[in-house]
């Protein structure tokens, strides 16, 4: 057996499988330095689901890529922080070890399943590759494992379909294949980057149900990256709301929806069309997200914020502080936001 075939021995020390501390990532481009992530801190426990919610450009996917160590360098550089997995800093790990962490310990699924699969190999072969490469299995054993996995993600007639190519599957089935590959080696952390964005609602419901069931079976920690407030409300335990590369609010899902503590979260939740506001103006956050190469001084949200004062424009972003028990927000006016007049 090759050296690769053994699992890297990493075990959680204090119940936390993943602990990200003050992560900074920047993109050095011709137009200047884009600060994509500016100090992200969170931890993930066994069986926990953390949703990272944000709009395009907020840095949610870059956070995931930094954890996986798959950022394109250049232009992206990790300029600070740690990503501790079971007590080991992944950012300091050598690439050859990191390759054994990916898939085996931390796995990821992407939004676009079609472009993540290789079009010229049968899907069964691609799933089996996980076992051949990471576990040193021979072809027939690996193929048998692949079929078992396809059954586990509820692909009908798995044995027959293992020989099919990605284009012969529908969008939902392709995403199931991606999930099969991701959970093949029983990872402790699964990062799902917009797993249902490209899918229809009926298929989206199937995939989210599947992810929940798999998590219950295996107890893996799940990081769900999404922009859809509806999906989050259904599955997440905790939510982190990202804006311009920072967590602006981080708390359990119930309190966040009931009464958000950050003006940006307020705006997001109020802009969902509601029944009792039918025909009226939707609440809309004014303006546009700022350019990452030229962030506003102070709080990045201040130009669009109705609570903003001069303090919000003084240099230095507001820190993410505990405003209630277990609830974090990065705003100077949290009191005011929590006690605001409801629309």
Residue numbers at the binding site for another protein (CB under 8 A): 55-56, 156, 170-173, 200-206, 208-209, 227-234, 236, 253-254, 257-258, 267-269, 271-273, 275, 277-279, 281-286, 288-289
Contacting residues for 199 by C-beta, under 8 A, at least 6 apart: 171, 172, 175, 207
- Give the residue with the Cβ less far from another protein, 102 or 212: 212
- Residue position matching structure tokens 């505990």: 322
Minimum CB distance to another protein smaller for 12 or for 290 = 290
Nearer to another protein, 92 or 278 (CB): 278
Q: How far is CA 153 from CA 170, 192, 342, in A?
A: 14, 15, 43
Sheet holding 88-89, edge to edge: 32-45, 16-29, 76-85, 88-89
Give the nearer residue to another protein in terms of CB position, either 23 or 208. 208
Minimum Å distance from CB 258 to another protein?
8
> What is d(CA 278, CA 280) in angstroms, rounded to the nearest whole number?
5
Give min distance, CB of 63 to another protein, in A: 17
CB closer to another protein, 269 vs 338: 269
Task: Report how far residue 150's alpha carbon sits from residue 164's, in angstroms, rounded to the nearest whole number.
Answer: 12
DSSP string, 159-203: HHHTTS-GGGS-HHHHHHHHHHHHHTT--SEEEEESTTTTS-HHH
Cβ 285 to another protein, closest distance in Å?
4
Q: How far is the CB of 126 from another protein (least distance, A)?
A: 20
Strands 189-193 and 221-226 turn out to be: parallel
CB 223 within 8 A of CB 191: yes
Q: Which is nearer to another protein, 186 or 277 (CB)?
A: 277
Comparison of 15 and 156: residue with beta carbon closer to another protein: 156
Integer CA distances (angstroms), 40 to 16, 19, 171, 245, 251, in order? 17, 10, 33, 8, 14
Shortest reach from residue 196's CB to another protein, in Å: 9
Q: How far is the CB of 250 from another protein (least distance, A)?
A: 15
| Count of other CB atoms within 10 angstroms of residue 217 | 11
Closest of 321, 328, 201, 246 to residue 36, by C-alpha: 246
């Amino acid at each position: 057996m090759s050296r690769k075939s053994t699992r890297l021995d990493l075990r959680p020390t204090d119940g936390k499988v993943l602990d990200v501390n003050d992560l900074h990532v920047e993109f050095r481009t011709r137009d200047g330095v884009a600060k994509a992530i500016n100090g992200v801190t969170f931890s993930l426990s066994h069986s926990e689901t953390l949703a990272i919610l944000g709009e395009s450009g907020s840095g949610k996917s870059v956070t995931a890529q930094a954890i996986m160590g798959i950022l394109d360098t250049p232009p992206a550089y990790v300029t600070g922080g740690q990503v501790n997995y079971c007590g080991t800093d992944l950012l300091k790990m050598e690439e050859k070890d990191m390759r054994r962490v990916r898939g085996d310990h931390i796995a990821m699924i992407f939004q676009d399943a079609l472009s993540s699969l290789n079009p010229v190999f049968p899907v069964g072969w691609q799933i089996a590759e996980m076992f051949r490469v990471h576990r040193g299995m021979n072809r027939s054993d690996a193929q048998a494992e692949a079929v078992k996995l396809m059954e586990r993600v509820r692909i009908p007639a798995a044995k027959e379909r293992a020989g099919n190519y990605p284009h012969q599957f529908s969008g939902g089935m392709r995403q199931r294949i991606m999930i099969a590959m991701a959970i093949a080696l029983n990872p402790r952390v699964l990062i799902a980057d917009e797993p249902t964005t490209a899918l229809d609602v009926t298929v989206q419901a199937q995939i989210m149900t599947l992810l929940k069931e798999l998590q219950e079976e295996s107890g893996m920690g799940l990081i769900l990256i999404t922009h859809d407030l509806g999906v989050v409300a259904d599955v997440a335990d905790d939510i982190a709301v990202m804006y311009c590369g920072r967590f602006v609010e981080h708390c359990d899902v119930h309190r966040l929806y009931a009464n958000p503590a950050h003006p940006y979260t307020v705006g997001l939740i109020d802009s969902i069309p509601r029944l009792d506001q039918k025909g009226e103006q939707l609440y809309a956050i004014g303006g546009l997200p700022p350019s990452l190469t030229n962030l506003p001084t102070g709080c990045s949200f201040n130009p669009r914020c109705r609570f903003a004062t001069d303090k919000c424009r003084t240099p230095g972003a507001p820190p993410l502080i505990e405003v209630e028990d277990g609830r974090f927000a990065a705003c100077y006016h949290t009191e005011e936001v929590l006690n605001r007049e409801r629309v």
